[in-house]
Structure formats: C-alpha cells, structure tokens
Amino acid sequence: MTDSPFPVVWEPSELVTLPSLVQEFPSFPAIPSAYYPKSINDVGTPEQIANSAQIWYSLLVDEVFPLETVYAKARPDQIGYSAPLRPDSEISLSLKKKLRQYPDSVSWINNPSLNLFLGGIPYLDAANVFADINRFPCDPSVSFFEAVRLIRDYLNTGDDSLILQHFRNNQRNNLIPTLNYYPPYELLFLMTRFASRPLSQHQLELILIRKETSFNSAAQIFIDQVFYQPDQTKYADILNLAERLLVSSPEEVGVLMGTPFGDWVNWASEYLLLIESPILEVPYAGAGLGLLEDQYVTWPDSYLVELAQELKFELPARAEFIGRKDWIRTIAAIAQRKVTSQA
C-alpha cells in the first residue's frame, strides 16, 4: 500500500468512544476512508481504516477542531472560537464547499418536500438535519433536496430504481448491497455523503435486523418509527420487539403492547410509552375532555375496545389519524358525548 495521497489532519480535544460493532469491524456499516478519495479499492492500511472510523465518529462532537481529510475540512475561522465570537455557520458552505462547521440551529426551511419527509419520523426535525449537514458536510456533486425527492418517491411507490441509479452515477456501486440496512433519514445521509451517519451500538444492532426485512413490512415500519429514541433505556424493548416482528405477525406481537390492531407499528413510538407506564383511572367518562385525553392515552387499546362496547359506539377508523394521541382525542370526545347524553 502506497502512502496516502491526501494529508490527514485531525486534532480533536476529545475522542469519541466507538461502538463495539465498529471496534470489531472498523469499516461497518459504511465508514468513509479519510485518506483515499472515491476509490473502492484503496481503503488504506488496517491502521488507516481504524483511524478513519475514529475520525468519522469524532465529528459527532460539537467542536470545530483542525481537520483536513478527503471528505471534509474544518472552517478555519471557527476553529478555537466559541459563540458569540465565531462567525455563524452557513449551510451552503457545508453543502457546496465540504466545510465542517458548528451545528448552529436551523429549525425550519421553506422546502415542502423536506418538511413532509421529516414529518413522518418521530424525534427528528429540521434542526437535527441541518446540524448534521454542518457536522458532516455533503458531497458537492449531490443535490441534497433532489435526494430527498428520490427517497420520498421511493417510500410512496417502493420503486428504488432511481436511488440505485444515483449510486451508480456517482460510482458508488459498492454501497448498493447495504441499502436495506437504512431507515429513510439514514438512507438520505448515505446518498449525500456516501457514508453512514455514525450510529450508536443500539442503532447498529437495529440496522442488522432491518436488513432482514422487506419493503413496508411491519418489522421495517416499526424499526423506522423507533430508530431515534430520547430514552436510551427503551432500546432493549425495541430490539426484542423488532426480532419478534421478523417471525410473528404484528397482531401477535401487538398483544405484548395491549393492542388487537396490527397497524400499531405505524405509531410504534407512542406505543413504546405504554411499556411499564401506569394506567391512570378515569373517575367518570363525563369529566373534562382534557382530563379524559390524558387518562385514556395511558390505557392499552384493549381497554378502549371495552369502553366502546360499554358505551355502545364504534371506535374511529385509525387510518384517518396521524398518531395514537389524535385517535384517542376523538375517542375521548365521543365517550364524553355518550355519557352526557345518557345522564
């Protein structure tokens, strides 16, 4: 192996601990080489491969340290400065100049396609996405918003031919076999950096399970809905449920969640909140609507089925609602009217 054709500079003030899966397999799932541009064959020495993984994960920290690799350089006028002394980050510099910057907050952008895309991913919003762009600059040859459009079309149709063509056009055929690993936003990251976002150990374990799923299957929908969790203690339950959904129907697994409805996976992040949560009693069904909503949301669906039978009304069709809480809000209003009319 010849010496690196690119001078690698990497001076963080702290090192990020790599997940055990990455320590064992430094190039998993798609860690970019910090040393060799684009070439699939020039991956580097074992030491360089390990360094590349450490460098890539070090970009997670909110610090702009001296950095110069084949995939990014640090914005020089931000190095060593803290807010408000440093200049503000500019998204265009990370999209077109491959400059790493501080993840300054951008909470909204006037792009309907992106906003619709993010609307279906719990615990992920524009602020997260643009912070990632600043931390992990995009490949300038790629249109970020065109990549969003391609993924939205794929999610609507199941036709991945244009996404495959995207990787072929950019000479990244080596990444095509890995595509089924990635939930939608992770796939967007891969399409715009040609590398995986640095994932946690739990997320790496989840994508290994996701690789075994088929498009739009219950297991795949579930994983995509719960992939980003503010409560790290939930991942043990998530991994258990994901593995069960590979071999059992969503109705069978739904019994563990207290629901007879197989479509619970569409609102999986809300159902996770029911695990080990106390069930609050409703003092009387004619109570204030706000109180009813807060109580009913803690009830398993099986309790709500019994409530509908007792008060003689049909539960509203779930497909008409964007989440479980919205569905329960309507149930609470119906129950309140029923009790009031019977009084």
> How does pLDDT run across 226-267, given as a tens digit for each residue?
999 988 889 999 999 999 999 999 999 999 999 999 999 999
Whether 268 and 318 map to the same domain: the answer is no
Which domain, by its residues, includes 243?
Answer: 214-272
Whether 42 and 136 map to the same domain: the answer is yes
Whether 27 and 164 map to the same domain: the answer is yes
Handedness of CA 107, 117, 234, 325 (dihedral sign): positive
CA distance 315 to 259: 13
Residue 95 has phi, psi (to 5 degrees) of: -80, -35
**112 found inside a domain:** yes
**281 found inside a domain:** no
Query: What pTM does this model have?
Result: 0.93
**70 found inside a domain:** yes
Residues in the chain: 343
Which residue stretches of the chain have pLDDT < 70?
Answer: 1-5, 107-108, 283-289, 343
Where a domain ends, among 176, 199, 222?
Answer: 199
Whether 185 and 293 map to the same domain: the answer is no
Q: How far apart are the first and last CA of the chain?
A: 84
CA distance 46 to 26: 9
Whether 33 and 167 map to the same domain: the answer is yes
> What is the pLDDT, as a whole number, of residue 39?
77
Q: For the CA atoms of the chain, what is the radius of gyration?
A: 23
**176 found inside a domain:** yes
Whether 22 and 166 map to the same domain: the answer is yes
Q: Which regions of the chain does DSSP assign to beta strands (E)?
A: 9-10, 67-68, 73-74, 99-100
Whether 149 and 16 map to the same domain: the answer is yes
> What is the pLDDT, as a whole number, of residue 286?
57
Quick one: which of 94, 77, 167 has its CA closest to 129? Answer: 94
In the sheet with 67-68, reading across from the earlier edge strand, the strands are 9-10, 67-68, 73-74, 99-100
Whether 53 and 163 map to the same domain: the answer is yes
* Residue 80 CB partners (closer than 8 Å, separation 6+): none
Q: Are 224 and 183 in contact (CB under 8 A)?
A: yes
> What is the pLDDT, as a whole number, of residue 329?
93
